[in-house]
Structure 1
Amino acid sequence: MREEGLEAEEKASISDVVTAADRAAERLVVETLAVERPDDGVLGEEGAAHEGTSGRRWVVDPVDGTYNFVAGLDWWCSAVALVDGDDLVLGAIHHAPSGRTFVGGPDLPSTVNGQRLPRITDRPLAASCLATYLHPPFLESEVGTVFDRVAGQAATLRMLGSGSMDATAVAEGRLHVVCQHSVPPWDELPGAAIIRGAGGTTAQVEAAGVTWYAAGALTAVADVVGALSR
């Protein structure tokens, strides 16, 4: 669909966009789940919502990193997560540009294309590459001030534009910790599952009136939480 040409529609901002490909991908996932897991619930970024009767729910991000997808950058993916009640069961992230698929969960060692990932090496925030995103209008607010406390302690910083892809890089040790505020479940849960399946951890903390999410190496996450909680 991208090769044939797509028009992006703005959602919340110029960097928050959606295309017909996002909607088509979500529809494909929802239709497949309706056949394979008809009793399960579904929650999709592009509006899919079904309660189900099994107590399980699939959380779907059909294209995570749509701005990158539209711009021709390859840091985008398709991602799903499965939750059972309040428990995260697994996540799956497919990176179409490289043909790599990550699968993992708290009780399921993370793999890429079936090969088990090494456990995440622990390190402090001061020795970590922090992946994040902060919408520029927040920079001059209290949220920006809190963000500065975290970013100022990191070894280096990257804003790459896809939370789930950032999580795969953390799971592989190419990045070390992710932190962002107000993260919706489709942006959080697939990557959280992969990171936890690779021996990392996740946390949420309230600061500056918003909920912050952090995931990655154990000490780095604890350092992020400490900086946010000051």
Structure 2
Amino acid sequence: MSLAEDAALAARVVRDAGSLAHRMRGEGLSLRNKTSISDVVTEADHAAEELVVRALAAARPGDGVLGEEGAAHDGTSGRTWVIDPVDGTYNFVAGLDWWCSAIALTDGDDLVLGAVHHPATGRTYVGGPGLPTTVDGVPVGPLADRPLAESCLTTYLHPPEYDGEVGAAFSRMVGGAATLRMLGSASMDGTAVASGALHVRCQHSLPPWDELPAAALVLGAGGAVQRIDAAGVTWSAAGAPTAVADVARALVG
């Protein structure tokens, strides 16, 4: 299979997953908390993940899968599809529009591509290190470089972590930004960074389904990604190259 064929498949499955979740939200949902009041899951998360897993099993039977809601299969090809059926579930449940369905493809340790579908606008983003990022097939254009001091940083830190070493590192980072947003969906934040609406994203302890789809889009737009060990956790930054470097310096202190 070609990179173009993988990209088309990724775009299709996230559109289908996002459309299913959007329809289920309109019909009413039950939910439960996972780790906290802001970490929730619904039957739409599970149904959308099952849809993606079935589609991938039919189209790429040798590939593995890793899903936020429990899907896990190693496969035989060395490739793995990383699935986030509903990213931004708190927003999804609350009736806010900043949520999406997202997927990434890895080949061993290499990130191949990411795709994100935003049901509120109907837009689908696809890109990767060797695949210029597009929205509905239109290139987003090269990402403009800028320092953190001239950037809008999108991030999140769970309030109980504001104190201590993690909170201190976070304060150093956000203190260097021109402005700050906490919007509640890591992959949607990545679409905004890749398209230039926001400029850099950074959060700690991101699981692969929250980190990789956005990282692929940012790389496909000419941005940079970096993992930074600071305050006993690993932070994932993606965005304008100079801003990413500034974030890394601020976190380490």
Whether these two folds match at TM > 0.5 is yes
Q: CA RMSD in A?
A: 0.5
Count of aligned residue pairs for this structure pair: 230
1:72-221 aligned within 5 A: 72-221=95-244
Q: 2:40 aligns with which of 17, 22, 27?
A: 17
Question: Residues of 1 paired with 2:34 and 2:94: CA distance?
Answer: 16
CA distance in 2, matches of 1:175, 1:10: 30
Corresponding residue to 1:42 among 65, 72, 81: 65
Deviation of the 1:49 alpha carbon: 0.1
Q: CA separation in 1, counterparts of 2:176 and 2:228? A: 17
Q: Which amino acid aligns with 2:241?
A: L
SS of equivalent to 1:145:
helix
TM superposition score normalised by structure 1: 0.99
Give the alignment partner of residue 59 of structure 1, picking from 55, 62, 82. Answer: 82
5+ residue gaps, structure 1: none
| 2: CA distance, partners of 1:176 / 1:41 | 32
Letter in 1 for 2:211: E
Task: Give the partner amino acid of 2:215.
Answer: A
- Aligned partner of 1:98: which letter? T
C-alpha distance in 1, partners of 2:149/2:110? 31
Task: Give SS of 1:10's match.
Answer: strand
Q: Secondary structure at the match of 1:58?
A: strand
Measured after TM superposition, the shift of residue 8 of structure 1 is: 1.6
Deviations 1:101-126 (A, max 9, x none): 00000000000000011111000000
Report how far residue 7 of structure 1 moved.
1.4
In structure 1, C-alpha distance between the alignment counterparts of 2:25 and 2:136, rounded to whole Å: 24
In 2, Cα distance between the equivalents of 1:223 and 1:159? 19
C-alpha displacement at 1:16, in angstroms? 0.4
Amino acid at match of 2:34: K
Q: Distance in 2 between matches of 1:104 and 1:177?
A: 17
Q: Distance in 1 between matches of 2:52 and 2:153?
A: 31
Letter in 1 for 2:232: G
What displacement does 1:141 show?
1.9
Give the CA deviation at 1:65: 0.2
Aligned-partner Cα distance in 1 for 2:222–2:195:
11
Percent of paired sites with the same residue: 70
Question: Hey, which of these two has a bigger chunk of helix by percent?
Answer: 2
What is the CA distance between 1:228 and its match in structure 2?
1.1
Give, in angstroms, the shift of residue 140 of structure 1. Answer: 1.2
Please state whether the residue corresponding to 1:2 is helix, strand or coil.
Answer: helix
- Cα displacement (A) at 1:200: 0.3
User: Which secondary structure does the structure 2 equivalent of 1:134 belong to?
Assistant: coil
How much does 1:142 deviate?
Answer: 1.1
Cα distance in 2 for residues equivalent to 1:34 and 1:171 = 29
Please report the TM-score for the alignment, with normalisation by the length of structure 2: 0.90
